[in-house]
Amino acid sequence: MANKEKQAVWLYPETKELMTNHMAAANARSQSDFIEKAIRFYAGYLDCRSDNMTEYLGEVTASVVEGIVKGSEQRISRALFKLAVQSAVQSHILAAVSDVDETDVGKLYGMCVDDVRKTNGIIDFRNALKYQRED
């Protein structure tokens, strides 16, 4: 892209307030950046009403999907962290009160890996309890 050129812009106070209030949501570093993004967005909108819509829609779709993925990624990461902490707490509590030898722990680990694989990670406590009480 070529160097930017300075432009004089006249705005109504309400329009400037709209811009100021939405700069963070637009991820704009400056008012100039906001205006640049707004013009490109509006030009893309107009192009959608003509034959040039595929280029604009591709960019907009990619941007929307990227935002959704990033948001989901952050929520999943936080949930996994909390789950790992809870799992560690449970493991330490069980280790403190259990009288299980290394061989049994190894067998249990292998059985659990198979169980998780077969059920896609959906473990029913009642089934586990029934299995443990059968011995």
Question: Between 51 and 6, where is the model more confident?
Answer: 6
d(CA 60, CA 41): 9
Check if the beta carbon of residue 31 is closer than 8 Å to that of residue 37.
no
Between 37-46, 50-59, 78-87, 121-130, the lowest mean confidence (pLDDT) is in 50-59
Q: Is the pLDDT of residue 53 over 90?
A: no
d(CA 74, CA 80): 10
Six-digit token string for 19? 């811009």
Residue with tokens 């050129």: 5
Q: Return the DSSP state at 123.
A: -
Check if the beta carbon of residue 44 is closer than 8 Å to that of residue 59.
yes
Predicted TM-score of the model (pTM)? 0.46
pLDDT digits (tens, 9 = 90+) for 31-46: 999 999 999 888 877 8
d(CA 89, CA 96): 11
pLDDT value, residue 127:
86
